[in-house]
Structure formats: C-alpha cells, structure tokens
A and B are shown apart, each in its own frame.
Chain A
Amino acid sequence: MKEEIIIAGFGGQGVLSMGKILAYGGIMQDQEVTWMPSYGPEMRGGTCNVSVILSDNKISSPILSRFDTAIILNQQSMDKFENQVKPGGLLIYDPNGITRHPQRKDITICRIAAVDEAAKLGNAKAYNMIILGAFLKKKPIVTMENVLKGLKKSLPVRHHNLIPMNEQAITVGMNAVEDI
C-alpha cells in the first residue's frame, strides 16, 4: 500500500495537524510516513498545505507533483491541486467558499460540508477531524483505532480529554461525505 495525499486550505483550518494525525495513525500500524508542510509566508493567514505519504515500504521522494488524493479546503487550493490528482484518484472538498467546482471527469470527486457539520456539532475546532473522517470513509487506509492512537500521540496529555470529541467528529465526517 502506498497513498500520496495533499491536504490544502487556509492557515488555521487544521490542515497541518490533520496531516500529522493521519501520519501518526500510519506509524501506529507500522507504516513508513512523511509529512512535508508548506512553511513559507503563506502560513501567516494565507494558503497552507501539507503532503502526507503513507506506505508499506521505504518512501523515497517526499516532494510530489501528482497525488492519489487531494483534500481541498479553499478555492486557491482547488485551482492549484485539482490537476495534480492522478487519473483514477480521489478529490475531496468542502464546498464552503468554493466558487469554481472541480471539473475533472477521470477522478472520483466527493463533497464534505464540514463547515456546516462543525456548526451542527457546535464546535468549529472539530472541522479538520470531520474532513479526516470523510477521507477515511473513502479510503480506509488507517483504522479508527490507530487514528485514535495517533491522536493520543499528537495531542499534549492535557488535551487528551478532547479525544472522544474528535472521534465523534471523525464519525460525523464518515457519515456526511457524499459522492458527486
């Protein structure tokens, strides 16, 4: 198994931490992982992205121009990354703020209204876990058990009380993701 993922959106949406939790989930099931962020000035309020690779084998290049999955959370990232999904790949996006919806016919496209779902949960911070849930529903490459173990590893101990809330958000995402 090898899955090459780009997660892209605005700084503050939890893009980097979603990638980290996914990567840690991979480590928990003994996979090789890389997590390569954009760390430029875009982190200060603009667009922000991270590429995450999970693989059963050693990972060579952490820098990619084609992805198995693109998780897209704003229009700028849609413009940049829609064409970088491999044919037959997956594009998941949150329609909130998207003015030009994806056009590709050779990939699977899914929508997750995560802003709305987070509002229903009454917890804006659950946003990125809802997105993660949507991804894991479409590509169950990491088990829920290992995601939760990964969460435990990435959150400081003082925030471990938030794990059940995160688990709930992942489940919400799994149920709310829709094919187009």
Chain B
Amino acid sequence: MAEKILMKGNEAIAYAAINCGCDGYFGYPITPQSEVMETLMKEKPWETTGMVVLQAESETSSINMVYGGACCGKKVMTSSSSPGISLMCEGISYLAGAELPCLVVNVMRGGPGLGTIQPSQGDYFQTTKGGGHGDYRNIVLAPASAQDMYDFVDLGFELAFKYRNPAIILGDGVIGQMMEKVELRPAKARRTDEEIKKLCASWATIGKTADRKANTITSLALEADVQERFNIKLQKKYAEIEANEVRYSTYKTEDAEHLIVAFGCMSRICENVVELAREQGIKLGLLRPITLFPYPKAAIDALVPQLKSIMSVELNAGQMIEDIRLISNGRVPVNFYGRQGGMVPSPEEIFEAFIKTIK
C-alpha cells in the first residue's frame, strides 16, 4: 500500500503537480492558497523532473505565462484565490477562446473585492458561468478533501487536454488549509517532446515541419460568420463535455424524501446533517456535484419525483440554487441555507435551518 502522508489540501496540489508530470507552474501568492507555491519552491522540482516553478509579478502575468506554455502543448498550471482569479479572468477567456488546455486552481475566499481570507464559495457564478467575457465554459472540479485536491490535478490535466479547454479546481479555504491523509499515486513522467508532438501536433506551436501547414493560435476572428462558426464549434464541445464528464456522488438518496445539494467542503458538513436528520426519522439524502460544469442535471432530475423538498447549502448568498431550480423547474420547493463572508456553519446550524424549511 502506498504511504499516506498528512498534508494540507494546498500542499496536495503541489505534490500532485510534480507527481503527474506537470511542466510548469506560474503563480503569485495569496492567502489561503500560498502553500501551493511555497511547497513547490521547497520541493525544487526543477532539479528532479525539470518542472518550471516561477513566481510571476502578478496574477495577470501568471495566467499569460500559462497561455504561453499551453501554446507549446505543455502541461501548465496556476493557482490563486478569489481576488487573484478575478485578475486572471481575461486570460482564462483567451485560453478558452484559443482552445488551450491548462489547469487553474482557485482556493476561494470571501468577497467581493479583497474581502476576507476565510473560506467561501462565492465564486460559483464566476467559475461555472464564465468569469471572463464571451460564450465559454470552464471544466470545473469541486474537491471535498485533501485527497481530492491531489487527485483532481491529474484529472484536471487529463480533461483539459482531452477537450483543449481550461479546467478549474474550485476549492475553498477549508479544503486548502485542512490537513488530511493523502495517498500518493504512482508518478507519471513529464511528456517528452516526441509525446507532445504526437499528442498536440495538430494545434500546438512546437515547430512547423515541411509536411504540414503552420499552426496558428488565436482567439481573434474579425469576420462575424467565422466567429459564429467557431462559437458553434465551442458549444458542440461543451455539449460533448456535458454528455461525457459529469461526476457526482450521493449519500443515502435511495429512500430520500428530502435532498440537500452541496459541493466542496459543504458536502462534507452536510453528510453530518443527513445523519442528524436520520436520527430523527427524517429521510434526508445528499447529492454532491463533483463537477460543477458539467453539472449533474440528470442525477438531480431523476431524484425530483421522490422528493418533497430540496435545499441548496452553500458558502454564499445562493448561487448554485439557480441551477437546481432550473432542473427542478417548479416541481418541488427548492430552499436555501448559506453563510457568507468567511463564516462556515456547523452541521447543527444547517440542520436547524433545514427543519424550518420542511415544517
């Protein structure tokens, strides 16, 4: 059995990056995710795997370094927290528009503005609906443990390259700062130039050869019809992602009459809420979306007929609830409980709120 190491979610991101053959990390420090770059700098992967680790002069700069690396077919990533991600949104839109693969980690904190350094899920809209301009989507993974933080780095890169699209790990201060045991996975070597050529020659700027046209990477199309054709192509890609990449987990939903939907750290807390309800004979279940885009629409839709109520529990003023309401479409009451500003509710607090909604 692989060794299990006690580490923070943020540290897990760093170790996973080195371990899965990441080529480059470009970042700028911000609480509560600073341990990502701190750990990379401590581990010095440039001496072992050859991975580049660079502290850029700003978040804007980091995301554009990611753009450059991604153009060359490299596995590149950045990480930040909410205010820093806002600065990166222009770059993420460009990456999506140029169909470039990359991994972005957001360890969310309270906002708006500089806000607080405490945990939040206030960037749900930003991450799942856009953030930057234009009709684009990110592939969004929501970790609920340090092990998820570790595993989603490799998964994020796999999905990013499969669809040539930015993938975002949407964590929060709880998941980033909490230590849990993490099982390290078998190491993957960094891709060789030959492997990159084989995988990315159709689009990456890795040196034109005589037998093919030059690859051009751009997100600019001045003619409206050209841009529209590209937009339609993007939408087809997003539909494919929605058809193939939905991930979620359920807890005691088989006989559930009430359902809590919660992601990330809140899904962990809400497992305890399910237990508190079950102790009182209330048939409560939990659905945890693991991918926030694509969202587990069909899974929630299939549960609606057996339900008397749904409650969305989030560390914000109510963002994901809009997606749940679109799915349930008036068939069942959809309630909400959330805390903001970095406050994290206890299971008892959520249970009390839940009971009020069903009485």
Interface residues of chain A, those whose CB is within 8 Å of chain B, are 20, 23-24, 27, 32-37, 39-41, 60-66, 153-154
Contact = CB atoms under 8 A, between A and B. Distances in A.
Nearest to B286: A60
7 contacts: A23-B179, A33-B181, A36-B178, A39-B117, A63-B269, A64-B346, A65-B347
B180 interface: yes
Contacts, number: 71
Contacts of B345: 63
Contact of B177 (A24, A39, A66): A39
A24 B268 contact: no
Nearest to B116: A40
Contacts of B275: 60
Interface residues of B, number: 28
Given A33-B6, A35-B179, 18 more contacts: A32-B181, A36-B174, A36-B179, A37-B178, A39-B117, A40-B116, A41-B117, A60-B268, A60-B269, A60-B275, A61-B269, A61-B270, A61-B271, A61-B272, A61-B346, A63-B344, A64-B347, A65-B346
A154 B177 CA distance: 16
Interface string B212-234: 00000000000000000000000
Contact of A153 (B6, B116, B271, B272): B6
Rank and list the top 6 A-B pairs by shortest CB-CB distance, nearest first.
A65-B346, A60-B271, A35-B179, A61-B272, A61-B269, A36-B178
Contacts of B57: none
Contacts of A24: 6
B348 interface: yes
Contacts of B265: 62-63
A66 B344 CA distance: 14
B173 interface: yes
B32 interface: yes
Nearest to B179: A35
